[in-house]
Structure 1
């Protein structure tokens, strides 16, 4: 747990409905979006919640409840900075650190050959005689790769 008391402090204007950045993450702009989010969290003295420096205290610690509130606020800010259809995939992460790690793992690394192959497969995918649910399942399988 960090020693700076401002890390756990929320300001009166802080609420879970705000977005940290003006441009939402859409699945393609991770590098610029993540830089903007990090800058915003730094300005709010909350960057340590996503980089792992501010660990969750033990349940019996006096700052446990405040840490939970602040971490939930940080996670809400991040989720509100992501397009809704993508954010829904991350709604059940336990902490803002876990949320950030999941986003980094999924979108933070570029793999050119894999991206080319997936785009090629997506472009060639047609519904044909598949039912709508089977077609969507096929698309989701490609998307999750």
Structure 2
């Protein structure tokens, strides 16, 4: 169990009406929403309440009452970060950990359909009327979301000099560069093709 007293401490500005995000959870944006919630809880040193590291103490433990108070606050923050009609469906969760597990089970574990949707959107994303910076930002957001649900496997050979991880990252970057160039407007047709490793350019 985590025993850092700062984890239980609430700041003067902490109150049950706080929302941890600027865009509320609406049932379709769990991936990005959950990331922002975790960042908010991490900043408040309360992430261990939802990830299971700080479990509920026994009733006779001296920190029991403070744990209940802090955990209730975390639960309120999460509920306030959701649209009201969704929050009403989860408001009877006993702990913030239980609430988070219910949300993950319902919205966060279907990575297959989510991966399909992201890749489908990537396949149809072009610059169109977007400024170049906005087009790149849109692609980057989709790439980051895809990475979150399909992380690159780490090297398991035990040899850190094998270069497999670096090579995998290089291939991924090259694929993203090609995707970016393919979606550019015709005005950028004169841009040179990326170096694909054979030294040739068009």
TM-score when scaled to structure 1? 0.76
- Which whole-Å deviations, capped at 9, do the CAs of 1:47-69 have from their partners, x for residues lacking one? 00000000000000000000000
- Which whole-Å deviations, capped at 9, do the CAs of 1:99-138 have from their partners, x for residues lacking one? 00000000002353xxxxxxxxxxxxxxxxxxxxxxxxxx
CA apart distance, 1:14: 0.2
Distance in structure 2 (CA, Å) of the matches to 1:66 and 1:4: 13
Q: Mind listing any 5+ residue stretches in structure 1 that lack a counterpart? A: 113-145
CA apart distance, 1:3: 1.6
Matched, 1:105 2:136: no
Aligned length: 115
Identify which range, 18-27 or 102-111, moves more after superposition.
Answer: 102-111
Matched, 1:45 2:32: no
* Structure 2 counterpart of 1:3: 3
Q: Mind listing any 5+ residue stretches in structure 2 that lack a counterpart? A: 114-202
Distance in structure 2 (CA, Å) of the matches to 1:67 and 1:46: 11
Distance in structure 2 (CA, Å) of the matches to 1:67 and 1:42: 17
TM-score when scaled to structure 2? 0.55
CA apart distance, 1:2: 1.1
Distance in structure 1 (CA, Å) of the matches to 2:49 and 2:85: 24
The residue correspondences of 1:1-145 to structure 2 (distance < 5 A) are 1-110=1-110, 111-112=112-113
Higher relative contact order (CA 8 A, sep 6+): 1
Higher Rg of the two aligned structures:
2
- Which whole-Å deviations, capped at 9, do the CAs of 1:77-114 have from their partners, x for residues lacking one? 000000000010001000000000000000002353xx
Distance in structure 2 (CA, Å) of the matches to 1:17 and 1:68: 17
**Which portions of structure 1, spanning 4 or more consecutive aligned residues, are displaced by more than 2 angstroms?**
109-112
